[in-house]
Amino acid sequence: MTYHNINGLRLWIEEEGSGPALVFVHEFGGDHRSWRHQVDHFRNRFRCVTYSARGYPPSDVPADESSYSQDIATADLLGVLDSLEIPSAHIIGLSMGAYTGLRFTLTHPDRVSTLVAASGGSGSFPQTRAQFLTETRGLADMILDKGNVDLPGFATSATRIQLKLKNPELWQEFADQFVEHSATGSAYTLRGVQAGRPSLYDLEDELRALETPILLMIGDEDEPCIDTNVFLKRTLPGAGLVTFPKAGHLINLEDPSTFNAAIESFHAAVAAGHWHLRDASTTGASPYLSEDA
């Protein structure tokens, strides 16, 4: 665990284990610590890499708002791989990290062996995008006015309360870690990365051309992500979709064993050559007859 100089600042990176590289990319409300249940599970067979994004201590927190954007977050992920001399990695991202993982895979498909995009897509669905942008920018303003991220309603939101209902102790740990985050880093991440990124629907043509093996995962109570992940499943030719029942946004914490097992099955299918691109014969609308019948 150490600092690495990446794109003009220091990012905090931790490594455990050896073998093929698994690189974990955290969500807005988390940091490098969010992945401990996954690292504990995979470190015996993989080189597990976690890092805190710019704006998330112990990584540097730039004071210039222009230092935060989706393109910069994607470049930072490339910097992590380059700094650790990882030619190709299995990327696992949650929410904001899932979006970064998708953008990175579009830009650098040769550096991605597989992608797990969990709880991704908030703010993309056309019918709710304007509301997302308004709320995101408003939350950023609130954080800057308060000078901290002590927002009691955040950890009990409609897509995060599921963790509290299932595991109050782990939820409290999540909530406590969240309030430790930088107000400046969090607010500028909201403005530059979250509100500044395009909708995934705007990237449809690029996504249709992407053949990387991708596992999409969502909770069935994560309302802001459900429709977008159905869109992604229909659009990405190399994607499969797993839905967790009675689950919200933090699926890697709500049910770590099932989350980890889904990744294991995905990786095994890819390694065995069983994770195929979607066949056109599976896309018909009729429940009874094939298109060429």
Kindly give, in sequence order, each residue whose CB lies less than 8 Å from that of residue 106, ignoring residues fewer than 6 positions away. Answer: 203, 206, 207, 210
Q: Which fold has domain 2-277?
A: Rossmann fold (3.40.50)
Three-state SS sequence of 68-119 = CCHHHHHHHHHHHHHHCCCCCEEEEEECHHHHHHHHHHHHCHHHEEEEEEEC
Domain ranges of the chain: 2-277
Helix or strand (DSSP H, E) at 174: helix 168-179
Residue 163 in contact with residue 170, Cβ under 8 Å?
yes
Q: What share of the chain is helix, strand, coil (3-state, %, to 5)?
A: 45, 15, 35
Kindly give, in sequence order, each residue whose CB lies less than 8 Å from that of residue 284, ignoring residues fewer than 6 positions away. Answer: 290, 291
How many CB atoms within 10 Å of residue 274? 8
Which residues in the chain show pLDDT less than 50? Answer: none
pTM: 0.96
Cα 143 to the chain's mean position, in Å?
A: 22
Q: pLDDT at position 293, please? A: 58
